[in-house]
Amino acid sequence: MAAKYLKKENLVSWLQTLAKERLTLVPRREGDAVVFRPFAPGQDIPLDQQATTPPKAAVFPQCEPLLAFKYAKDPENPGKVGVQVKEKLGDTPSVVVGCRPCDARGFLTFDRVYDSDRASDLNYLTRRRNTLFATLACDEPASTCFCNWVGSGPADAEGSDILMVPVEGGFVLEPVTEAGEKLMEQAPLEDAGDKAALAEAVKENAAKALGEAPDLSQAREKLLSLFDNMDFWEGVSAKCISCGACTYLCPTCYCFNITDEQSGAEGVRLRTWDNCMSYLFTMEASGHNPRPTKAHRLKNRVGHKFSYYPDIHDGHIACCGCGRCIKSCPSSVDIRQIVLQAIAASAASE
């Protein structure tokens, strides 16, 4: 299918059609924040700004039941108690409409971890395969955006099923996957005509607005060479208050904790997002904590994304450049500056 044009006034009717078959998540304003919520007719859909939170929870909920369990006596052998386990899989067909290219691409960081030869996470995979992304290309990147530093761009379609490019009066829709094509068949579309050229101009201008990306090819080894330089890490983490906002808002942070909630003989096993910027994240049962200070924790956060993860995943950086950790940090810690300072610092010490 070629690119098509969707008039702005037809967006809601498309969403209504999608919502009949799929959980349809769209941006919604809640207080000062823009978050992804199920589409409801008559509500404002703020597409003109990057959402405060990414749509990470659509595939990796903040807290999800992985399984239910129940202890029961063996009727043949009443002295013995067995456990029955029932997996809980989120298999509702879903679509996220209006997230940004960096948001959809963020899931590729998850895929390399949870859908690999070494580990295959059934709960993650079930939601992942049931969730589609109709992504909105960025026409005006924010000052905090740096997707082009990490091999992406404001109209990157990798990880999306449809790329929607905003043009005057509506959107040019480009199918990326077969599933995306099928979603487009449900939209009241028109031939793109001269809007296709407008869409190309939007993409070009947005890419230009981001400016030139610095060369991060040395980041992996430079960060590693600073591993024991705690003066450096204490300096760059001095402002951090360990609030964890950067990890909770990050489309590529995939750490979790597991807890069992039990009442009587029945219970549920929950997976909940965890936060490596918290003191308790690495606290061991012995009382020893291998990351006792915020300097150790920020070193891990930056090092993981720009050095340790790329080291075991063919050079892929575990950051999609969305800039949310910069925008929402109460202390103005800027991950871009830390990476650049690391490259410069280790160069100076060579």
Gap between the Cα atoms of 332 and 235, Å rounded: 14
Q: Which position among 13, 17, 229, 242 is part of the footprint of ligand SF4 (CB under 6 A)?
A: 242
Place of tokens 């890490």: 233
Closer residue to ligand SF4 in complex, CB, 175/321: 321
Name the minimum Å distance from CB 245 to ligand SF4: 4
Complex with ligand SF4: residue 24 or 52, whichever CB lies closer: 52
Q: Which token pair is 39? A: 């589409």
Q: Which CB sits closer to ligand SF4, 4 or 128? A: 128
Q: CB under 6 A: which stretch of 11-19, 41-49, 198-206, 321-329 binds ligand SF4?
A: 321-329
Separation CA 135–CA 133 (nearest Å): 6
Q: Is 293 a residue that touches ligand SF4 (CB under 6 A)? A: no
- Is residue 181 within 8 A of residue 200, CB to CB? The reply is no
Rule CB under 6 A: say whether 333 interacts with ligand SF4: yes
Q: Which two tokens stand for residue 224?
A: 């590693």
Does 320 bind ligand SF4 (CB under 6 A)? Our answer is yes
Least Cβ distance, residue 191 to ligand SF4 (angstroms):
36
Q: List the one residue from 65, 214, 235, 244 that touches ligand SF4 (CB under 6 A).
A: 244
Nearer to ligand SF4, 82 or 330 (CB): 330
Which residues lie closer than 8 Å to 326 by C-beta, 6 or more apart?
A: 144, 332, 333, 334, 335, 336
From candidates 321, 339, 342, 345, binder to ligand SF4 by CB under 6 A: 321
Asked if residue 329 binds ligand SF4 (CB under 6 A), the reply is yes
Long-range contacts of 241-246 (CB under 8 A, 24+ apart): 241/330, 241/331, 242/277, 242/278, 242/279, 242/294, 242/297, 243/277, 243/330, 244/275, 244/277, 244/278, 245/325, 245/328, 245/329, 245/330, 246/277, 246/301, 246/324, 246/325, 246/328, 246/329, 246/333, 246/335
Bridge partners (DSSP) listed for residue 266: 70, 263
**Nearest distance in Å: CB 322, ligand SF4:** 4
Closest CA to 81 of 273, 319, 264, 349: 264
Residue 3 near residue 173, CB atoms below 8 Å: yes
What angle (nearest 5°) sits at the alpha carbon of residue 111, between those of residues 281 and 215? 85
- Which CB atom, from 45 or from 102, has the smaller least distance to ligand SF4? 102
Should residue 243 be labelled a site residue for ligand SF4 when binding is judged by CB under 6 A? yes
305 binds ligand SF4, rule: CB under 6 A = yes
**120 or 272: whose CB is closer to ligand SF4?**
272
Instruction: Give the x-and-dash track for 144-183 against ligand SF4 (CB under 6 A).
Output: ----------------------------------------
* 246 lies in the binding site for ligand SF4 (CB under 6 A): yes
Q: Give how far Cα 303 sits from Cα of 61, 78, 108, 117, 310, Å.
A: 25, 54, 19, 24, 10
Site size toward ligand SF4, by CB under 6 A: 25
**Among 130, 131, 152, 252, contact with ligand SF4 (rule: CB under 6 A):** 252
The residue ranges that bind ligand SF4 (CB under 6 A) are: 240-246, 249-252, 277, 305, 319-325, 329-331, 333, 335
